[in-house]
Amino acid sequence: MALIEFNKEGKIAIFTINRPDALNSMNVQAARELHEALVAFRDDDELWVGIITGAGDRAFCAGADIKDMLPFLQKNLPQRPWAMPATPMRGLELWKPLIAAINGLALGGGLEIALACDIRIASEKARLGVPEVTLGLIPGWGGTQRLPRMVPRCKAAEMLLTGKAIDAQEAYRIGLVNRVVPPEAVMSTAMEWAETICQAGPLAVRAAKEAMIRGSNLTLEDGLKLETDLEAYLMSTEDYTEGAKAFTEKRKPDFKAR
């Protein structure tokens, strides 16, 4: 049985963490399968947007499997930090957009998976948190770095230092999620957002994500240079020619990701 189900619906890839009996916690094999699925998504020209969710209705992902993942990390992190497969949380550049469909608990590594996504749709029943300090650890998939960049520093500190989870409405209030919907509407809402993104030029969407993420670590001057370089690249693409032509002809563009 695949621990990460990888399905395709048109231009949309759907990744489902499939360990519902373990609240979709991530073990080493699941992390490896997630890496393989996301690389396949990255390299498939027919797929433009990805959605990550969890199996069942209880959890998106409850974090690392304490019996499997944590012993592996304890053994390998000091000497072999690269032993963990590369993912968007750490080590894998992925400019195609990702949407987190948070259908339940998103704790620890689960929240960090969601943080590595670009858009987050949360169930009304979702709870989000980084409880690692209660185990004597800190988040290891980017939580200490991404969370303070996404929400007010005092709220990030509250979550990181106390380990306490927040509910979906509080997550929305502080800007951690884009929308809160009834549990039964999480995936359909994520699909709607994905389909909307698929109407835009896919190369432009990827360039916008790259400019946003890479630019956040640059000075304004260097960020503007990056933006100019990416815009110049886009103007040389077939998609831009088609987009401009469709606009003047008052029709829907037929983008090809070329």
CATH number of the domain to which 180 belongs: 3.90.226.10
Note whether 105 and 184 are same-domain residues. yes
Distances (CA, A) of 150 to 62, 80, 108, 187: 21, 29, 16, 23
Q: Answer yes or no: is 238 within a domain.
A: yes
Q: Answer yes or no: is 257 within a domain.
A: no
Mean pLDDT of the 130-148 span: 93
Question: Which of 179, 198, 217 finishes a domain?
Answer: 198
pLDDT at 144 over 80: yes
Q: Answer yes or no: is 42 within a domain.
A: yes
pLDDT at position 76, please? 63
User: For residue 13, what are the β-bridge partners?
Assistant: 8, 50
Q: How confident is the model at residue 88 (pLDDT cuts 50, 70, 90)?
A: confident
pLDDT at position 85, please? 80
Instruction: List the domain range (segments joined by +) for residue 107.
Output: 4-198
Note whether 61 and 161 are same-domain residues. yes
Note whether 62 and 82 are same-domain residues. yes
Instruction: Count the domains in the chain.
Output: 2
Radius of gyration of the chain (CA): 19
H or E, element range at 167: strand 166-167
Note whether 187 and 212 are same-domain residues. no
H or E, element range at 63: none
Give the number of other Cβ atoms within 10 Å of residue 258's Cβ: 11
**CA angle 245-215-11, nearest 5°?**
45
Q: Answer yes or no: is 12 within a domain.
A: yes
Q: How far apart are CA 27 and CA 83, in angstroms?
A: 13
Handedness of CA 164, 123, 152, 118 (dihedral sign): positive
Mean pLDDT of the 193-214 span: 96
Which of the residues are catalytic? 112, 132
